[in-house]
Copies of this chain bind each other. A is one copy, B any other.
Amino acid sequence: MAGDFVFEEKVKIYDTDAQGVVHYAGYYRFFTDALESFSSSKLGETLSEVSKNIWFVVVESNAKYYKPARMGDKLDVHLSYKLLSDKSIRFDFKIFKSQELVCEGFITQVSIDRDEWKATPIPREILDKLA
């Protein structure tokens, strides 16, 4: 947790559904926002734009839901990451509302050659910035 990248989010009406709480798939918006913000500040641009030839694509997503979040709630999204191989990174997320854990999960991304749509090593300059 110490050293995590933290992104603040506010629950919007379009994140909620008729049960009055954030729709389960809506939490992936929070994961994506935190990831794009992390990437902008750490790599200088969003992960998806990081290179003309390389794209990062999601190969797995997961979320566990512990407490409901409601419209207007302020959330802290904590992001940490680890390299799984020279081609893939796992980003872990913990979402807190007033210090209480409401959701945790992860997104695993793989670096691909966008023309061939095949896994390819993550470029050196990205690895250096993530190190």
B19 touches A17 (CB 8 A): no
For A24, the chain B residues whose CB sits under 8 A away are 28, 57-58, 61, 107
For the complex, is A8 an interface residue (Cβ under 8 Å from B)? no
The binding surface of chain A is classed by DSSP as mixed
Q: Would A29 and B33 be within 8 Å (CB), given that A17-B18, A19-B48, A48-B18 are in contact?
A: no
For A72, the chain B residues whose CB sits under 8 A away are 45-46, 49
For the complex, is A93 an interface residue (Cβ under 8 Å from B)? no
Q: Would A14 and B19 be within 8 Å (CB), given that A62-B62, A71-B48, A71-B49 are in contact?
A: no
For A28, the chain B residues whose CB sits under 8 A away are 24-25, 28
Q: Give the interface size bracket for A toward B.
A: 35 or more
Closest 4 CB pairs of A and B: A24-B58, A16-B18, A25-B28, A62-B62
Question: A44-55, CB under 8 A of B: which get 1 and which 0?
Answer: 011011000001
For the complex, is A97 an interface residue (Cβ under 8 Å from B)? no
For A64, the chain B residues whose CB sits under 8 A away are 59-60
